[in-house]
Structure 1
Amino acid sequence: MLLLGVGLFALANAASAEPISPKVGTITAPSEAFAQEPGSDYFLANYDAYEAYLKKLATQSDRMKLVDIGKSAEGRTMWVAIVSAPANLAKLDHYKDIARKLAKAEVKTEAEAQALATEGKAIVWIDAGMHASETVTTQSQIHVLYRMLTGTDAETMRVLNDEIVLFGQDNPDGLQLIADWYMRNPVKTDREFRTIPRLYQKYIGHDNNRDSFMVQMPETEAVNRQLFREWFPQIVFNQHQTGPAGMVVFVPPFRDPFNYNYNPIVMTELQEVGSAMHSRLVSEEKGGSGMRSAAPYSTWHNGMERSVAYFHNSIGLLTEIIGGPTPEKIPLIADTQLARSDEPLPIAPGDWHLKDSLEYQWSLDRAVMDYASRNRERLLMNIWRMGHQAIAKGNTDSWTTTPKRVDALKEAGKDAKADEGYVGYNSRAREGMVASSLYASVLKDPAKRDPRGYVLSPEQRDMPTTITFLNALIKNGVDVDRATAPFTAGGKRYPAGSYVVKTAQAYRPHVIDMFEPQDHPHDAEYPGGPPKAPYDITGYTLAYQMGVTFDRVLDGFSGAFERVPDLMTVAPGRVIGAGKAGWLVGHEANNAFLLTNRLLKAGVPVSWIEPETKAGGKTLAPGAIWVPASPAASGILASSTRQLGIDAYAVAKAPTGAKLALKPVRVGLVDRYGGVIAAGWTRWVLEQYEFPFSVVYPQELDAGNLNAKYDVLLFADGTVPSTAGGPYPGGYRFGMPDAKTIPAEYRGWLGEVTPEKTLPSVAAFAKAGGTVVTVGSANRLATLLDPQIQPALVTKKPDGTLAALDKKAFYIPGAILSAKVDPRQPLAYGMTPTVDIFFDESQPFTLSGTAAKKVAWFEGPAPLRSGWAVGQQRLNGTVAVTDVDLGRGKLFAMGPEVTQRAQPYATFKLLFNGLIYGPAVAATR
């Protein structure tokens, strides 16, 4: 295909001029620095080569400064190349200070802000490589950097003068893995990277772009620090692929719905930038761009890099482009050939090469930089305005209009006559009119106003988890305060040590989004039609997922508060009392499992006390941990209680209630070739809580004799293949490579969990005393293991097999629901009688027989707490989590995703208890 614009391989001629005041000679071109020029067919540059090139450029150009921002999960250095005019680079701290003052609205008046905006520089973040298999972005960035460091045209010089561009690489480990895997094959036409053996981020693969508000991964923390605590860019450009079929690239604007918490200036500016990007492509006759309806992307979910930007008053851009090192074709799709508003310039079908994508990517990057240059002062002023408005909203009565409030307005309008006297409105408009008096009584109902702040008392059931929650806010640049003296808020007295998160701050949208429920609209394909799938999940309120206790304060309040300066560590726990018999520890804190695992690893006896017990003047709920006195136990308790922020009670005599003696466990975490993201998240969680485990692949399961190596087999969501249209959605599959085409060390990872081979081995394992834990879609295996467990929300097909309900009848695409729990059961020790549980097209159960116990269940017609649910009343009476005896062993079936993306700390205990409880029971049988 003919390249339009400046050809990539004419680059040496197009930008051969030396940069202003080069440090050392000329700038090395990509064609000279790599084994082949990035953008060549059948070639990928890996991170080692990319990093070396960055370092070389940093020594050659006075337009670039290279900054180390942290380490990746595998220990590689993450670099940001800061590109600007030499005079700007000499004053980076000054411009960073201006960006912070404006983004955080630290200046109070318009005049002060305007003075800073006039002096300041636009800050633009442009990254690459978030999803390593999306190879265009990093290969493109290499050329973009070279062009920006060597170009002397008027536009380049203006951009360099007006702004500071931060070029980042989000996933060094993935780039190295993907490029090395692709290049390993000497036969060019056989090169591919789709069959990599594991996830391209050590733990979470593609979900590295779902971690932005939780900030669990080191790469996310490094990037977020640059975005919201260091540089505060007005534009965050997160580049991806692949583009819509029959087209080249998706470019914003996005489809609805947008989230109701952020400032609408973000959306209007986003549309401006997106339009500038489309216009640039069209003006250069680069066809095949699409927007809005051309792809499913929306701006609802907070967890992605470009979308978390909206909640920080920054313009978040996402592009999705086609291309890769192996040439491909643009297919002819009839509908894409008819120009329309969302696809302004169709492109002809034909051959496509990586260098073609790189030319488009250059135009897109250039359009963003040009927009930032031309709108420098306005961008700086508007980020201040959004922050200033957020602070004002937090200091006054304010309301957020959501679908539920609009529905309430319509309902109230049925009984109130609409205002008369309006003329010039068509009949359709008149049909929608309601009495204007309802605006104040419904949409401005005083009881429904937004909080002025949130107070988290130190009397938390699980303070270490609360600190993790607050740290997630801090990692996102949110201001968190700590009370240094008692104070009153909302008519309630709080002690010193309480944490306060006020909404009168620039990042108010993010604060609200983390504490308040998401109210996703009912989004149908057409009126009365099936629900339209959202882009990612709809309900994710982090305070709910983590089980944090907080109060919403609707009126203004003050007190002796000090700003938390940086990430916190939990206050040290204590050993309370002087008893010599042993120690009792409550089951409420997740960190109690860390203590338990350390004790078991050291060979120290540990038990759970089945009834309530008393210690230190407190009543400990069922499941309290009992540790008999010993020198080994004393040392571990003394150090671990301090580090983990949990208390142990030294008692004078052993508790008399029934005990369950625990044992060290051997966990087999099931995965598959290529990696299952949910299993990767689970692996990370197990490592954080020091559970001993090994990764198990289907071939090993099929071979049997599993009890000799494992006490528990854990099947995360997606590890058991689902039948097409069956009752357990998810569990999708990619094809397995031919064993002969991959290194011998990975061939043992091939295979799938099957009813024919795997089921008999797993059933034998359980009957002989093993524990099987199934989560989410993996519960297809639970149903096969024990017919007492059946999917609850199903319909029977003509052939007698079961299928999930039609989505018009039941559809919950990622939301938070309220579930009932029985904390007297070992699987639920340490939990409260009601818990917020994440549910993503999950399948609850019906139980029969007496061997299956109901541990968690749904009760009532409206369990939805945050997000979107169609037919939620159908959950009433269904079981979420069950405990089943299988011979001498146990089966714990957990319908909802109790560890989804390592966010729902409140339901981690269901998994953690299961890993320990099942083997303990088996040891006593």
Structure 2
Amino acid sequence: MHGDEWEGTDGALRVIEHLATATDPATLALLDRTRIYFNVTANPDGRNAGTRANAAGFDLNRDFATASQPETRAMRGIALATQPLVMLDEHGYTGDTLIEPATAPHGQNYEYDLYIKHAYANALGMEAAVKALGHAETESVTIPFRDLPPGDWDDWPPIFTPMNVMYHGAVGHTVEIPLRVNRAAYTGLPESELRRRSAINTDVAAATIGAAITYTDTHRDALIADQIELFRRGAAGEAQRFIPDGYVPGFGPEDRYSTTFARAWVIPAGPGQRSDVAAARLVDMLVDNDIRVTRAHRGFTLGGRAYPAGSYVVDMHQPKRGLAAALLEAGGDVSQRVPQMYDISGWSLGLLWGATVDQVASGPVRVPGSPVVAAAPTGRVDAAPGQDLAIAVRDGKDVQAVNDLLGRGLPLRRAADGSIIAPADTRAAVLEVADRYGVRFTAAPAGTSGTPCARRSSRARSPPTS
């Protein structure tokens, strides 16, 4: 995922070459009964440029809660299409080899009992394979769950690749190969030392991949059964399991994170929705993540609130309820339980994107509607020809639409209430951008004045989130 952490690709290619050319009965039997998928270069632009980020400047391994980048969406597509049992994300460089599972805080929406028993055992197998390489630099292996204090290397947010695929049924691991060869080391070390380090790193990457394949093949029945159990619990709406101390060596109260899932979430239509375009984007994000959403055919009541036809409902009795909760809820407050966090600890797509999202705690969910493949179009112009047009700027797409019009040299003005006014004679351009960005223009009140507008960042209008 990081373009200047190279040897994960090299280790993968070594394993591919071995599998493709092997003639021994054990390997042939493995390939006869097993599908092994390689995303050989998850960040090709970054690899080519020698940069951590992709060509657009995004850290792809922080993008999985929003999937803003094509590489992230491609990786998500691989997970959905292949539904892996075990997944490795090869990174570097941490000084010694690091192999997850991670420290607390653990994502509260996981079925963590199904994950940790396989993740810890698989990590031990990968550790043994790395140590068996015989290099002095591979004698030390860090398993954060075992070796680091809470907060040093957590799996709390769904922004990381392995943490996201865990919600899709995989036992996910970040692997960090040990010896730095990028950035200052790349320009400051002799070529011979860089080659030596890179060879060891490639050995480590290949060893972890090979050991993970062995674990998956050896425990295939249990892994498949536990993946099914993960989805079954969600569909049945069952409570998470209590995990006792010692469930795996070292598991204790500091590792116990859980939640009570909502019965449903509602993304309202109509006057109760702050931003139709943000709501539609949120619905599409859920559907793209294989989360089941229903659009109501007629009005209904849930959680004591009435909603109009066209509202969206996420019934949490579904296989991937954990990811639905992770994306929609405000999350838990862990500030009293851990002294620090490895990275981003607060997110919520409803809050971040500005869509109104209501939680339904309990009760039956009987909403007449249809499964959503894509959110209903939101772009429209609700004004008669000859009227000035107004757009309320509540979402990044609203900003993009305004910037598009300004980029065409059109004379827009800002009203006292913050809305943007377009003259009646710009209607043709307004119709085009309303459709392009999915935004709504209404009739501006007669006589509305305002100050001339200039272009601004599309990031400026998202409401704050903790």
Pairwise TM-score range, normalised by the shorter structure: 0.7 to 0.9
Q: Deviations over 1:308-355 (max 9, x none)?
A: 122223211111012366898xxxxxxxxxxxxxxxxxxxxxx94322
Q: How does 1:562-641 map to 2 (within 5 A)?
A: 562-565=370-373, 567-568=374-375, 570-578=377-385, 580-610=386-416, 622-630=417-425, 633-641=426-434
Alpha-carbon offset, residue 386 of structure 1? 0.8
The whole-number CA distance in structure 2 between the counterparts of 1:359 and 1:624 is: 59
Report the Cα offset of residue 154 of structure 1.
Answer: 4.2
- Is the 8 Å Cα contact of residues 212 and 303 (structure 1) preserved in structure 2? yes
In the TM superposition, 1:788-807 aligns within 5 A as: none
- Paired with 2:166 and 2:453, the residues of 1 have a C-alpha distance of 48
**Amino acid in the other structure paired with 2:450:** K
Task: Verify the 8 A CA contact 2:390 2:422 in the aligned structure 1.
Answer: yes
Aligned equivalents of 1:661, 1:325: Cα separation in 2: 52
Contact 1:575 1:641 in 2 (8 A): no
Could you tell me how far apart the structure 1 residues matched to 2:295 and 2:282 are? 14
The offset of 1:588, in angstroms, is 3.2
Tell me, yes or no, if structure 1 residue 545 matches structure 2 residue 398: no
Question: Residue 539 of structure 1: CA displacement?
Answer: 1.6
- For 1:647 and 1:309, locate their aligned partners in 2 and report how far apart those are by CA, in whole Å: 35
1:387 aligns with 2:231: yes
1:27-38 correspondence to structure 2 within 5 Å: none
Q: CA deviation at 1:650?
A: 3.9
What is the identity, as a one-letter code, of the residue corresponding to 2:177?
I
Q: Distance in 2 between matches of 1:277 and 1:652?
A: 67
Distance 1:500 1:649 in 2: 27
Alignment counterpart, residue 483 of structure 1, candidates 296, 299, 320: 296
Asked if the contact 2:180–2:197 (Cα under 8 Å) also holds between the matched residues in 1, the reply is yes
For residues 374 and 599 of structure 1, the distance between their equivalents in structure 2, rounded to whole angstroms, comes to: 60
**1:133 aligns to 2:4 (yes or no):** yes
What is the RMSD computed on CA atoms of the aligned residues? 3.1
* 1:883-917 residue CA offsets vs partner (Å, 9 max, x unmatched): xxxxxxxxxxxxxxxxxxxxxxxxxxxxxxxxxxx
The match for 1:761 is: none
Instruction: Kindly state the Cα deviation for residue 572 of structure 1 after the two structures are TM-superposed.
Output: 3.1
The reply to whether residue 203 of structure 1 matches residue 56 of structure 2 is: yes
Q: Residue 77 of structure 2 aligns to which amino acid in structure 1?
A: R
Change (3 A) 1:659 1:400: farther
What corresponds to 2:439 in structure 1? 646
Secondary structure (helix, strand or coil) at the match of 1:166 reads coil
Pair 583,150 (structure 1): closer, same or farther in 2 beyond 3 Å:
same
Residues 421 and 444 in structure 2, CA contact (< 8 A), matched pair in contact too: no
Residue 239 of structure 1 and its aligned partner are, at CA, apart by 0.5
8 Å contact from structure 1 (residues 608, 659) kept in 2: yes
Q: Which structure features the higher share of strand residues?
A: 1
Q: Matched residues in 1 for 2:349 and 2:429: separation?
A: 32
Q: 1:463 aligns with which of 254, 273, 276?
A: 276
Going from structure 1 to structure 2, the CA distance change for 1:261 and 1:651 (only over 3 Å counts) comes to closer
Equivalent residue of 2:313, what SS? strand
Secondary structure at 2:173 match in 1? strand
Q: Check whether the contact 1:462–1:590 (CA below 8 A) recurs between aligned residues.
A: no
Checking the alignment, whether the CA contact within 8 Å between 2:91 and 2:175 is kept in structure 1 is yes
Is 1:281 the counterpart of 2:281? The answer is: no
Supply the distance in 2 between the matched residues of 1:391 and 1:836 (Cα, whole angstroms): 33
Q: Distance in 1 between matches of 2:398 and 2:349?
A: 22
1:733-777 Cα distance to aligned partner (Å, 9 max, x none): xxxxxxxxxxxxxxxxxxxxxxxxxxxxxxxxxxxxxxxxxxxxx
Q: What is the letter of the counterpart of residue 219 of structure 2?
A: N
User: Cα offset for 1:451?
Assistant: 1.4
- Aligned pair in 2 of structure 1 residues 276, 520: CA closer, same or farther (>3 Å)? farther
Distance 1:592 1:523, change over 3 A: closer
After the TM superposition, which of the residue ranges 449-458 and 484-493 deviates more from structure 2?
484-493
Matches within 5 A, 1:17-28: none
Q: Give the share of equivalent positions with the same residue, in percent.
A: 20
Distance 1:555 1:160, change over 3 A: same
Q: How do 1:38-117 residues align onto structure 2 when only pairs under 5 Å count?
A: none
Partner of 2:103, secondary structure, is coil
Secondary structure of the structure 1 residue equivalent to 2:37: strand
> Could you tell me which amino acid in structure 2 is paired with residue 176 of structure 1?
N
Whether the aligned pair in 2 keeps the contact of 1:573 and 1:646 (CA below 8 Å) is: yes
Paired AA for residue 277 in structure 1: M
Structure 1 residue 358: Cα displacement: 1.7
Change (3 A) 1:456 1:522: closer
- Matched residues in 1 for 2:332 and 2:241: separation? 11
- Aligned-partner Cα distance in 1 for 2:464–2:414: 25
Residue 378 to residue 581, structure 1, CA distance change in 2 (3 Å): closer
- 1:252 maps to what in 2? 100
CA distance in 1, matches of 2:395, 2:53: 32
Deviations 1:103-153 (A, max 9, x none): xxxxxxxxxxxxxxxxxxxxxxxxxxx111111111222222111111223
Counterparts of 1:453-852 in structure 2, within 5 Å, are 453-459=264-270, 460-522=273-335, 532-553=339-360, 554-565=362-373, 567-568=374-375, 570-578=377-385, 580-610=386-416, 622-630=417-425, 633-650=426-443, 653-655=446-448, 659-663=450-454, 665=455, 835-838=463-466
- Counterpart of 1:271 in structure 2 is 120
Provide the rounded CA distance (Å) in 1 between the counterparts of 2:358 and 2:395: 20
How much does 1:569 deviate? 6.2
Determine the C-alpha separation between the residues in 1 that align with 2:314 and 2:419.
32
Letter in 2 for 1:623: G
**TM superposition score normalised by structure 1:** 0.44
Q: Which one has the largest radius of gyration?
A: 1
Structure 2 residue matching 1:176: 3-state secondary structure: helix
Q: Paired residue for 1:361?
A: 205
Q: Indicate conservation of the 8 Å contact 2:347/2:465, yes or no.
A: no
Residues 587, 214 of structure 1: CA spacing in aligned structure 2 closer, same or farther, 3 A cutoff? closer
Which residue of 21, 27, 38 corresponds with 1:156?
27
Answering whether residue 60 of structure 2 is matched by residue 217 of structure 1, we say no
- Amino acid corresponding to residue 305 of structure 1 in structure 2: T
Q: CA deviation at 1:302?
A: 0.9
What do residues 528-579 of structure 1 show as CA deviations (whole Å, max 9, x unaligned)? xxx63311122212222122212211212112221112x446333123235x
- Please tell me the residue identity of whatever aligns with 1:227: A
Distance 1:141 1:237, change over 3 A: same
Q: Taking structure 1 as reference, are residues 624 and 520 closer, same or farther at Cα in structure 2, changes over 3 Å only?
A: closer
Query: Where does residue 313 of structure 1 map in the other structure?
Result: 169
Q: Give the TM-score normalised by the residue count of structure 2.
A: 0.84
Question: Given that residues 111 and 240 in structure 2 are in contact (C-alpha distance below 8 angstroms), is that contact kept between their aligned partners in structure 1?
Answer: no
Deviation at 1:520, TM superposition (A): 4.5
Verify the 8 A CA contact 1:587 1:623 in the aligned structure 2: yes
Measure, in 1, the Cα distance between the counterparts of 2:392 and 2:332.
36
1:237 aligns with 2:53: no
Gap runs ≥5 in structure 2: 186-194, 243-252
Q: Residue in 2 aligned with 1:440?
A: none
**Could you tell me whether the CA contact under 8 Å between 1:577 and 1:651 is conserved in 2?**
no
Structure scoring higher RCO (CA < 8 A, sep ≥ 6) equals 2
Amino acid at match of 1:242: Y
Q: Which amino acid aligns with 2:115?
A: V
- Is there any run of 5+ residues in structure 1 with no aligned partner, and where? 1-129, 179-195, 329-350, 402-431, 433-442, 525-530, 611-621, 668-681, 687-826, 839-925
Residues 461 and 517 (structure 1), Cα distance of their counterparts in 2 relative to 1, 3 Å cut: closer
Pairing of 1:881-900 with structure 2 (within 5 A):
none
Question: Residue in 1 aligned with 2:247?
Answer: none
SS at match of 2:36: strand
Matched, 1:378 2:222: yes
Alpha carbons of structure 1 residues 660 and 492: separation in structure 2 relative to 1, 3 Å: same
| Structure 1 residue identity aligned to 2:140 | G
AA matched with 1:307: M
Matched, 1:143 2:14: yes
- Alpha-carbon spacing, 1:522–1:646, altered in 2? closer, same or farther (3 Å): closer
Aligned mates of 1:144, 1:384 — CA distance in 2 = 29
| Matched letter for residue 175 of structure 1 | R
